[in-house]
Amino acid sequence: MSSSLLVANALAPWIAASVLGAVAVGLVVAVLSRRASTMRAELEAEYRDYSGALSRERETLSTVIETMAEGVVVAEPDGRFVIFNSAARRIVDRDPVDVPPEEWPETYRAFHSDMTTLLDADELILRQAIRGVEPEPLDAYFRHDDGGGVHVRGIAKPVRDEDGALLGGALVLHDRTERRRIEGERAALIEDLESRNRELGRFTYTVSHELRSPLVTIKGFLGLLAQDAEAGNAERLALDMERITEAVDTMGGLLEDLLELSRSGVVVDAAGTVDLGGLIREVVRVLDGPIEGAGAEVRIADNLPTLHGDRTRLFEVFQNLIENALKFMGDQPSPKIALRVREEDEYTICCVSDNGIGIAEKDRERVFRVFERVETSVEGSGVGLALVKGIVEAHGGSVWVESGEAGVGSTFCFSLPRRAPNG
Ligand code: ADP
């Protein structure tokens, strides 16, 4: 056997083992690489699913934020905005502007709730939040270009990642304008109710006071009547009875006035159409006697409008005001009364002016209260102007004395809404 054959024989098992090993390694590598590519494909598919879900989530979230009624603003620690939804743009009345946080109050015209004091940069809760501070909620007002604005309650919080590192701050703005309007209306209503209550208290006091004095008179004269009857003094008896009758008449008159006053709020047809010119001329015709008696000149403006109201009740208003103008002329040698009408906003304003004794500033409010009289030398009950007030207010208007210093005369005006009720 040759030596080379010997070597070959000796190496044969080793070579066989090596070849087998190589084949086995090749197989393992192939299997492993196939598995690796399967894993890679699986991982890629998983990643695609994950990023798809993530982007769907992001889309949903941004749609929700964009359609929210609340303003949402998210900023990075340096003040750059990441989110500024459309409600926030509507609230601040502008698009976000890239300015440093110190300039936010002026840029977005952010005021305190008093609507006049500009917020200090340090007071901005979003600015505090992007610095990692957790601020208290803040009530503020954003002024708009058109002169209006929005009242808000703002809540801000710092935004952090799971390790607590600061990512920025988020601000939610809740529009409270409507709520404030309702609160304001409620406060005005309560104030109105309280003032009516006070007026009612005053009214009850005055009425009982006025009714008491004829009662006291009656009681006094009834005592005298008994004495005079006992003494058989027929002359004094007649006088006593006359006084009692007078007091009873006074009381009857007061009750009559009160009854009429109680009816002043009853407006039968506030939506009726009234030709003001025709109405005033008719009142003047009815008062022809007293006007001539006073030697007064009555001027009625031309082109008077047609308005809405209860003709019968408005007739009483003009009659009362013209009668008063005649009654309180004092010693004016050439009495003049003028009737004018003007349109102001939603109202028609009617005024009756005279050149009589006038009313001092301090008395201009109280003359509209029942039984309140300033000039007592002239006959009257002090109910006329209270009646006028009641009728005008039942129409949705108001009444006032516009001018009138002593000696210069008075101008009584009242307003009536131009639009018919429910019209
Ligand atoms: P009366 O005329 O019965 O006194 P009113 O309620 O009509 O009651 O008026 C209340 C008071 O207002 C009057 O007593 C008078 O002092 C004052 N007053 C009313 N109208 C005029 C007027 N045109 N000029 C001056 N004072 C007036």
Distance 103 CA to ligand 1 centre (A): 61
Ligand 1 neighbour 254 (Cβ under 6 A): no
Q: Which helix (H) or strand (E) holds 338?
A: strand 336-344
Specify the 3-state DSSP secondary structure of 301. Answer: coil
Q: Does residue 51 register a pLDDT over 80?
A: yes
Q: Does residue 24 register a pLDDT over 80?
A: no
Q: Which of 261, 332, 375 to mutate to test the pocket of ligand 1 (most atoms within 8 A of CB)?
A: 375
Q: Which of 250, 317, 327 to mutate to test the pocket of ligand 1 (most atoms within 8 A of CB)?
A: 327
Ligand 1 neighbour 384 (Cβ under 6 A): yes
14-23, 30-39, 255-264, 334-343: least confident range: 14-23
For residues 131-153, give the mean pLDDT: 96
Distance 264 CA to ligand 1 centre (A): 18
Lookup result for tokens 């008896």? 237
For residues 196-208, give the mean pLDDT: 83
Q: Does residue 241 register a pLDDT over 80?
A: yes
93-105: b or e for each residue (b if 16 or more CB lie within 10 Å)?
A: beebeeeebeebb
Distance CA 129, CA 158 (A): 4
Specify the 3-state DSSP secondary structure of 313. Answer: helix
Q: Which helix (H) or strand (E) holds 257?
A: helix 234-263
Distance 382 CA to ligand 1 centre (A): 7
pLDDT at 9: 64
Distance CA 320, CA 391 (A): 11
Phi-psi region of 45 (alpha: psi -120 to 50; beta: other; left: phi over 0): alpha
pLDDT at 263: 79
Distance 104 CA to ligand 1 centre (A): 59
For residues 250-270, give the mean pLDDT: 83
Distance CA 393, CA 302 (A): 26
Question: In the numeric block, which tokens belong to residue 194?
Answer: 């309280």
CB burial of residue 108 (10 Å; 0-12, 13-18, 19+): buried
Contact 386, 393 (CB under 8 A): no
Quote the distance between the C-alpha of residue 312 and its chain's center.
34
Distance CA 17, CA 68 (A): 75
Ligand 1 neighbour 105 (Cβ under 6 A): no
Tens digits of residue pLDDT in 385-417: 999 999 999 999 999 998 755 568 999 999 999
Put simply, whether the predicted model's pTM sits higher than 0.85 gets the answer: no
Ligand 1 neighbour 325 (Cβ under 6 A): yes
CB burial of residue 246 (10 Å; 0-12, 13-18, 19+): middle
CB atoms within 10 A of CB 202: 14
Q: Does residue 262 register a pLDDT over 90?
A: no
Instruction: Please name which of 261, 241, 224, 276 lies closest in space to residue 394, comparing C-alpha atoms.
Output: 261
Atom from ligand 1 closest to the CA of residue 325: 23
Tens digits of residue pLDDT in 143-191: 999 999 999 999 999 999 999 999 999 999 999 999 999 999 999 999 9
Q: Does residue 271 register a pLDDT over 60?
A: yes
DSSP conformational letter for 417:
E
